[in-house]
Structure 1
Amino acid sequence: MNRQLCRLALLLIAGWIAVGTTTSLHAQESKRSEPTPTSGIPQPDAADDPTADQPAADELPEEEAKKEKEAKEQKPDPGSTPTEPFAPRLTIEMVEKRIKEVEESKELKDEQKKELIDLYQKTVEQLQNCQKESEREAHFLSLMNEASSPEELKKELGQPMPLLEEISPDTSLTELQKRLDKTEKELNAAREMAEQLESEPSRRAVRRLEIPKTLAADAEAMEKARKQLEANADSTEPLEVKKAKQAFFESQLMLLKVRDQSLKCELGTYEHTGELTSLRRDQAVRKVSHLSKEVKLLQEAVLKRRQKEAKKQAAEAKEAARKAMVTDNTELQKLALDNAELAEQRTGEKGLGVAIKKASETEQAIRAKIQTLSGDRGRLVDQVEGAGRLTHAIGLLLRKQRDALPDIGRHLSNLADRRTQITEVMLKLDEFREKRSELATLSPHIQGVLNDLPANMPLTEREEISREARRLLESQRKFLDELIGDYDTYFTTLVELDTAERALVEETQTSDEFISRHILWIRSTAPLGLSDFPDSWDALSWLVSPKSWLHLFHLFANEIRVHAVLAGVAMILFLVLLAVQRRLRVRLKTIGKRVSKSYVDTYSLTGEALVLTALMAVLWPGLMWIVGWTIQNFPDARIFSKTVGESLCMVAFFFLAFELVRQVWRPHGLAEVHFRWRASSVAGVRRSLHWLMVYELPLIFIVSATEVENWSNEDGQQALGRIAFILGLAGISVFMIRNTRPRVGVFAEWVSRYPDGFLARYDKPVRYSLVCLPLVPAVLSVIGYHYTALQLERKLEITIALFLVIALVYALCLRWLLVARGKLARKLAEERRAEEAALAAATGESSDPSVQPQLQQNVIQVTEEREVDLSQVDVQTRQLLRGLTGLAITLAMWGVWMDMLPALGVLDPWSLMATSAEGDNAVELTVGHFILGGLILLMTVIASKNVPGLLEITILKHLPVDAGGRYAITTIVRYVITLVGAILALAVIGIRWSNVQWLAAAVTVGLGFGLQEIFANFVSGLILLLERPIRVGDIVTVDDVSGVVSRIRIRATTITDWDRKEFIVPNKEFITGRLMNWTLTNTINRIVINVGVAYGSDMTLARDTLLKVANDHPSIMDDPKPLATFEGFGDSTLNLVLRCYLKEFDNRLETIHELHRDIDLAYRAANIEIAFPQQDLHIRSFEDSLDIHRGNSGNARPVDGHHRESAASSHPSEN
């Protein structure tokens, strides 16, 4: 029925096209124009076009046109011009004509022209899309016609394939190669067709879901287009604009109608051509099989023909070489040997022919595997999407398909090896082509052979040798041509093989990604119930059966007798390790005692302790692995032997991990002595590790055993594995509870060292997370997601192992830093003792006591500078280690968990919102998008905190960039990382600049008024970082506050004054206000020291002494030179001023202190007195005055004796 409807629709469309060709574009034309081709564009009918029931103005009867004109005149639109109806039936030629008229119009403005041309061009695009939709509909109709008669295909498939054409022995190698190339091209084309037909059902299933949605959207769009047409007819816009809009809306309506018919026809085609598609797929597969056989036959024929010719040429070359050896001419001998070598390269098992055949066969096998994978994936997609929900059967199918996927690692290794192989072939080709070009002219080579002949050789012999040389050179040229052809074929085959293998890797990755997307979200079994426990008991009884273990013991004993030598060597090695265990422990304890003494501590002791720890840990796990490997590889191993062997090998790895950690935590071991971790924490962890190992290893054995296939009791096998798995995770959770306690847990020392660190602030969340993390896979296993739980648990195992390895490496690096610092400290102490000894010798030789304080101060100063350098190196190295550790953890986490990211794709159907509501640009935002965006933001935060510091320590510190420049670079890098991460995260969740630019503009304007100060400070901060009028470390003065710039933030800059108070200054102040930067372009600063000496001092000596002190100080610059001047006569002193210059502000105060101290010592040594303010005070007493005073007071006593005059100064001139 649908087929007949589609045909009827096509006839109606053709009728509309014929009618449309008789219409005109302009209503003002008095005469009907000739019919115009419509380019196959169907037109809207009267039911869909509101203007279709109204004929054009030139087609109206005269009376009706007059009435219509009167009606329009009675109701004129205010402010508008009289409108002119636009012909409703369109063609591309009509619209292009209108575009040309608009372009040539002189009445329209440029803006109006641009607007109208844009509308007409969109109309043309829609009309062109109408043509394409009509072609699609015609294509589907032709498919339906073919589907009506599939009998020919059935008849063809029922007949046997034609026999392969026999290859004539007279066919040349060149013809065979051409035929092979042609057949291989046909085979590749047939494979592509087969792959396309294989994926056709899944594509059609998707289209069946999409088409109804598209039809519904088109119906709404058509209704909207009709309303827009009606509104345009009544609008008051200019006539030209109305015409353009009417053309646009009509073309839009036409496109929607044609697409509606095309989609309906497509649906009908899918319903009626299902059988035809299956028959075509069978036909394509049959053709691929037939062509594959023909290609294989041709390849064997080409190889045989090539080997036959190569053997013949090699035999001829060997015979020629044998004959040449009889002669005495070395040149002929060399030519013959070269020919034999060239001919040999094409023969034998390692010859080019065999290599070409192997490469070609490998390529065909890989292409067949690609086709199989593609077909399997297509069927898998159909089954997953057809099921509607993820069932247990789908989960089994996905796991089976994943197990059958090719090994990507092996193919990637092949691709890497093949790159080298292709390069070698290219070099060989270039070499042979160069040799062949040298043999283009044979005369020079023949002449070279003749030149070596004796001058008295007869002419006949010379001619004979010349002919033989020509024959050998011609043969060599022929051999080179054959080799070049073979190498060219080999090169082409290798390139095609490389392309095919890359396609296989991509197809495997696509299949694996699809499987990973769904497999973790499917229940692998029913939830754990009471009925599982009896089944698990039966499975456990089989696993621990004494009879089976006794039989296994006999098999193991027989295996030892068969391989007595290897067993003896292994036993001797085990006994040696067992015998030296006590010595290893004693040696480790001795090393620990030596490490505790810093004066004998070296890093080699830690390396030795690490080796001893590994030797103590490897003993019993190594024995277990050897036993398991032996049992696993029994010649007649049954399911029980295989189960026990694989399980013992797996347990051995976990046993080794437990033992390594336990031995690291042993008393006097690495953790306690070398890494200096808290002894109580170390002891607690070691005790917990002991019981955890005893508890976990049997459970790991059971879980590993239940993962081996082909058990007789599969239900019991699965139940037993789940119960053991859950119990093992519960034990790990208990271990976390006991060892993450705040005071005695593994984090206790870290928290005590860094009380403001992350662990100290978030102790409880971290602890609860570590306790609950093992329970997540356990809960998943209980509710039936056992496969998912196993995958998560393995990822957690690898993550924990990587964390332990990174922590061990970090501790070893810190240990190296501690040892290096100890060495530097000991060296510093030795240098201090040597300097003190030199000081003692110098002071003993010097009789001047004023020199001793100066020498002592020099020793103290040098020592303090070295201690500061040592602490700076320590801090920088620790920062570098922390940065590298953070980077290693991030990369490790990404490498472990990245293959779990496709599982988030199952969240795609959980749509939350759409980024756009219009057209095909709408993107559905799902839970997966938001999770991925959150992960990107998390990585951005981590990178913004660690990458800038790591960049400064590893790169910027070694560049000629000052501290301010380094700060600016790291700050900008942090901003860039944050900005890029935010953009990526927003793009993932569908927020792009094109979507929010209007909002950003509005917000910017609003915030520009409301928060203009904050924006001004932000922009000023960027200017400060880029223009750098101030830098971190600069000494500045702002508003009478002087200090050092310590931080430049987004909004404000922090200045630390000399009292260590922080002064917060908005960034805007530095740009718009006045600023004194003492160290902007030149950090040279001047020190002024005023010195007053006593009257009568030698001023020349005093001035020279000042200059000598300044010149001798290491921090004082030589240029500008220090300057000392006699400034004037004071009340009590002769005033001198010393002016000298420093290169930096860093040690200004210390230098001033040292200069004052050195001047004081130098003046004392030169007997120059530094004067101080002096004044004479005279006291005179008068007896009469005293008597009167005493009398008035009423309690006066007579004073006996004479008045004594005291002077406070020795300068009479001041009395």
Structure 2
Amino acid sequence: NRELSIALNQQAQRMDLIASQQRQAASQTLQGRQALTTLREQAQWLDESPALGETLRAQVSRLPEMPKPQQLNSDMAQLRVQRLHFEDLMNKLPQLAQGTQDDGSPLTPAQRRILDAQLATQHNLLNALLTGCDTQILELTKLKVANSQLEEAMNEIQEAAHRYLFWVADVSPIGLSYPLHVGQDLRRLVTLDTFSQLTHALGMMLTSQETLIPLFGALLLVGFSLSSRRHYHAFLERSSGRVGKVNQDHFSLTLRNVFWSVLVALPLPVLWAALGYGLRHAWPYPVAVAIGDGVSATVPVLWVFMVCAHFARPQGLFIVHFGWPQQQVKRALRYYTLSIGMIVPLIMALISFDDYSEREFAGTLGRLCFLLLCACLALVTSSLKRAGLPLYLDKHGAGDNVVNRSLWNLMICAPIVAAAAACLGHLATAQALLARLETSVAIWFFLLIIYHIIRRWMFIQRRRIAFERTKQRRAEMLAQRARNEEDLSQSQLNDAAAEVDEKVLDLDTISAQSLQLVRSILTLIALLSVILLWSELHSAFGFLENITLWDATSTTQGVDSIQPITLGAVLIAILVFIITTQMVRNLPALLELALLQHLDLTPGTGYAITTLTKYGLMLLGGIIGFSMIGIEWSKLQWLVAALGVGLGFGLQEIFANFISGLMILFEKPIRIGDTVTIRNLTGNITRINTRATTITDWDRKEIIVPNQAFITEQFVNWSLSDTVTRVVLSVPAPAGANIEQVTHILVQAARRCPLVLELPAPEAFLVDLQQGLPLFELRMHAAEMGHRMPLRHQVHALILEGYCHYQLKSDPS
């Protein structure tokens, strides 16, 4: 009963806590709804007064943060388990009422009264606990609903703030009095006893158990990292001599280089993170807390800079493993000290001013830090561009292309434009856009490093295969030399393996298809990451929906309505067309490399599937994109029908070729790689397009044949169902020659040729007499079209050899 009483008291305390959380959630939801109403009511006056925008931003910033997810479902499940336990105890009460003494004798009347009183008390406690469990489950359900309402309200406020306040000036434009305001705020910041607060915060950090344990762990990690530097340098010395040597180079060297670089780069970021953690927990000192927020936010930036610096060492990842020019890497790191000494502190100060005292110093000192940060970023970005680092690689793996140059120009102009916007008063907008742009570039550069790591792994594997083949050829040559079948010098044996000892191997040996697959996958990952990163600001661009370009009529269930086509819809349609173009360019290749080549498909089926996939993507993207700008299929179908009739006369050949191309893909009378003869032209099918098919003849000339010719005309496909073809040679014999002897010579010549198939067996016949000279036909079969001409050459040579052997000569007359 004592345990049940304690459980009842805990249940009551829990109920009080749940009720308090419900009241808090309801109050915060009401506060958020009121702020949302105020924001929507004042939105139309935002363009008139920057002070109103700053006031509304401050009001939104004072709202509670997004509620953290609570384990309400697990708490309700635990309550249900407790309730089952209490019900089990309740069911056992009748058994306890039948209790006896230890020797089995009945209880005395006094003992019975005591037992009944205790059982009654336990019964009451269990009833109260069961009722409390039911009530607590109900209240937890209400709390869950209140939290979901609060989360919904916070999401609406965040979306409304982005929609109405994102493009509104949050500070006053810079004027002639700006330097005076900066000096005044700097003097005020000093008078806030900043250094004293930092000193007390550091003392609190060193004496509080909450911050001392993480600080001690950070010091241990820093000590381990510093002690491993000697091993790191020794590893760089050893690995740099092994990279590039085919019998010593391994992909594990690259992975270990990455691991050591990340480990050795940890000390400063870890100490920086520990400092930020300690300052953030010094809650009595608001200046220290704001600085702690800035320090913690710059930890990833500092760590990335440190890791890149170790990657760029002369024996590091970029130069030794990736093969980047050392001078190029040095030029890229020209402003590395500036990055560590200026960019990181400026970001820290900027975030600190934004978090301190409702952005009291954001318009002066914070804006000054942002302007200096933009100047540093523009300088560093310009240095990286001059160093020749690629942001985009084309299908040949080269960085000298229009897209790469455009991206670099955008990266250089972005800080300049952001600084100009900050000068005009749009400080928060410039910060948000520039931060996401730089983060997008960081993601892109990270995926570029991943691409080069995968590329190096493929390079090592391909070179190892070449090395094994060369070793096998060398062993065969040595075996031939041992059998005295061939006199080889040692220099010839060395030449056989010389190609694998080269420091640099031509990158063309790497599979271009595999690299294309890797590039396509990484490009899709980059696009998804960037879309997720920028999706938080999608409501900030809602003003584009208010710019109407034209009106379009749409029909829904027979009712016509006018649909405004906005600038936002046009931009989304352009984005859909761009994504469709990228998918049409990359997805068929991904489908071919990742799936189709692993299936047992007939020749040409994979090409047909990828081609139809490309057409389907183009059709789907076109329908979605055009529907966004008011061009629906219901409006186009009559126009298409009319154009079909009109163009059917003027462009009937083009349409016929297009339909014939689709029939070729489905019926497959020809496939990629087939050898065909049409219109006195013979060659291999190399490409099947929508209008025409490309044939490459034996002279390596490309012949364009309309698709309609393969549907309406007669042609020969030498390899449609079987690549075996018959070769017929007309061979004259000398006058008076023995017919059986000549037949034997011809058949033996065919059998001695390795390109002639044994089945069907070669045959020779006397088919004609021309001016007394017997004329024979030798009929034999070749496995494929490529063997026909070498077969004719070899058989003719063997026939002449047989004639000479039997001294058969043609009649000189």
Q: Which has the higher contact order (CA 8 A, sep 6+)?
A: 2
| Ranges in structure 1 where 5+ consecutive residues have no aligned partner | 1-310, 316-343, 440-478, 850-858, 864-869, 1178-1213
Aligned to 2:420: 779
Aligned to 2:370: 725
Any residues of structure 2 matched to 1:739-888 within 5 Å, and which? 739-741=384-386, 744-747=387-390, 754=396, 759-761=400-402, 764-840=405-481, 844=485, 874-888=511-525
Looking at structure 2, the residues matched to 582 and 1051 of structure 1 have their Cα atoms a distance apart, in angstroms, of 66
- Is the 2:275–2:292 contact (alpha carbons within 8 Å) kept by the matching residues of 1? yes
SS of the counterpart of 1:921? strand
Structure 2 CA distance for partners of 1:375 and 1:539, relative to 1, 3 Å: closer
Looking at structure 2, the residues matched to 619 and 782 of structure 1 have their Cα atoms a distance apart, in angstroms, of 37
Which deviations, in whole Å up to 9, do the C-alpha atoms of 1:574-594 show, x marking residues without a partner? 455445535523432331221
Any residues of structure 2 matched to 1:507-656 within 5 Å, and which? 507-540=153-186, 548-549=194-195, 552-553=198-199, 556=202, 559-560=205-206, 570-571=218-219, 573-575=221-223, 577-578=225-226, 580-581=228-229, 583-634=231-282, 636=284, 638-656=285-303
- Is the 1:1017–1:1067 contact (alpha carbons within 8 Å) kept by the matching residues of 2? yes
* TM-score (normalizing by structure 2): 0.78
Aligned to 2:689: 1049
Aligned to 1:669: 316
Q: Which of residues 687, 695, 705 is equivalent to 2:334? A: 687
Offset of residue 617 of structure 1 = 2.1
Offset of residue 778 of structure 1 = 1.6
Offset of residue 1036 of structure 1 = 2.5
Letter paired with 2:570 = F
1:737 has 2:382 as partner: yes
Offset of residue 601 of structure 1 = 0.1
Looking at structure 2, the residues matched to 1090 and 348 of structure 1 have their Cα atoms a distance apart, in angstroms, of 111
Offset of residue 968 of structure 1 = 1.6
Q: Which of residues 638, 659, 671 is equivalent to 1:1031? A: 671
Which deviations, in whole Å up to 9, do the C-alpha atoms of 1:403-450 show, x marking residues without a partner? 636527x44x86xx84x88899999999999x9xxx9xxxxxxxxxxx
Structure 2 CA distance for partners of 1:546 and 1:596, relative to 1, 3 Å: farther
- Is the 1:525–1:786 contact (alpha carbons within 8 Å) kept by the matching residues of 2? yes
Aligned to 1:393: 52
Aligned to 2:537: 900
Looking at structure 1, the residues matched to 208 and 50 of structure 2 have their Cα atoms a distance apart, in angstroms, of 50
Which deviations, in whole Å up to 9, do the C-alpha atoms of 1:910-947 show, x marking residues without a partner? 22222139997112222222222222222222222111
Offset of residue 769 of structure 1 = 2.4
Looking at structure 1, the residues matched to 778 and 515 of structure 2 have their Cα atoms a distance apart, in angstroms, of 47
Aligned to 1:947: 587
Letter paired with 2:531 = W
Offset of residue 814 of structure 1 = 0.7
- Is the 2:54–2:171 contact (alpha carbons within 8 Å) kept by the matching residues of 1? no
| 495-504 or 659-668, which deviates more | 495-504
- Is the 1:595–1:602 contact (alpha carbons within 8 Å) kept by the matching residues of 2? yes
SS of the counterpart of 1:521? coil
Offset of residue 671 of structure 1 = 0.6
Aligned to 1:696: 343
Q: Which of residues 985, 996, 1010 is equivalent to 2:625? A: 985
* TM-score (normalizing by structure 1): 0.54
Aligned to 1:383: 42
1:1127 has 2:775 as partner: no
Q: Which of residues 339, 344, 352 is equivalent to 1:705? A: 352
Which deviations, in whole Å up to 9, do the C-alpha atoms of 1:1114-1155 show, x marking residues without a partner? xx877xx2412233499999968362352xx4xx42586489
Letter paired with 2:432 = Q
SS of the counterpart of 1:600? coil
Offset of residue 817 of structure 1 = 0.8
Structure 2 CA distance for partners of 1:1172 and 1:892, relative to 1, 3 Å: farther
Which deviations, in whole Å up to 9, do the C-alpha atoms of 1:29-54 show, x marking residues without a partner? xxxxxxxxxxxxxxxxxxxxxxxxxx
SS of the counterpart of 2:677? strand
Letter paired with 2:352 = A
Letter paired with 1:992 = E
Which deviations, in whole Å up to 9, do the C-alpha atoms of 1:570-615 show, x marking residues without a partner? 5565455445535523432331221132320001111111122123
Offset of residue 998 of structure 1 = 4.0
Looking at structure 2, the residues matched to 369 and 555 of structure 1 have their Cα atoms a distance apart, in angstroms, of 31
Aligned to 2:493: none
Offset of residue 683 of structure 1 = 1.8
Offset of residue 702 of structure 1 = 2.7
Q: Which of residues 633, 651, 667 is equivalent to 1:1011? A: 651
Q: How many correspondences in the alignment?
A: 756
Offset of residue 821 of structure 1 = 1.4
Aligned to 1:910: 547
Looking at structure 2, the residues matched to 585 and 1133 of structure 1 have their Cα atoms a distance apart, in angstroms, of 86
- Is the 1:781–1:789 contact (alpha carbons within 8 Å) kept by the matching residues of 2? yes
Offset of residue 802 of structure 1 = 0.8
Looking at structure 1, the residues matched to 612 and 364 of structure 2 have their Cα atoms a distance apart, in angstroms, of 57
Structure 2 CA distance for partners of 1:1175 and 1:779, relative to 1, 3 Å: same
SS of the counterpart of 1:994? helix
Letter paired with 1:384 = A
Offset of residue 793 of structure 1 = 1.6
Any residues of structure 2 matched to 1:320-469 within 5 Å, and which? 370=29, 372-385=31-44, 391-394=50-53, 396-398=55-57, 400-401=59-60, 404=63, 406-407=65-66, 410-411=68-69, 418=73
Looking at structure 1, the residues matched to 807 and 75 of structure 2 have their Cα atoms a distance apart, in angstroms, of 93
Structure 2 CA distance for partners of 1:1117 and 1:406, relative to 1, 3 Å: farther
- Is the 2:459–2:510 contact (alpha carbons within 8 Å) kept by the matching residues of 1? no
Letter paired with 1:664 = F
C-alpha RMSD of the superposition: 5.0
- Is the 1:1090–1:1138 contact (alpha carbons within 8 Å) kept by the matching residues of 2? no
Which deviations, in whole Å up to 9, do the C-alpha atoms of 1:723-747 show, x marking residues without a partner? 2212221222222333323xx5224
SS of the counterpart of 1:913? strand
Offset of residue 672 of structure 1 = 0.8
| Ranges in structure 2 where 5+ consecutive residues have no aligned partner | 92-124, 488-495, 501-506
- Is the 2:687–2:695 contact (alpha carbons within 8 Å) kept by the matching residues of 1? yes
Structure 2 CA distance for partners of 1:1069 and 1:640, relative to 1, 3 Å: same
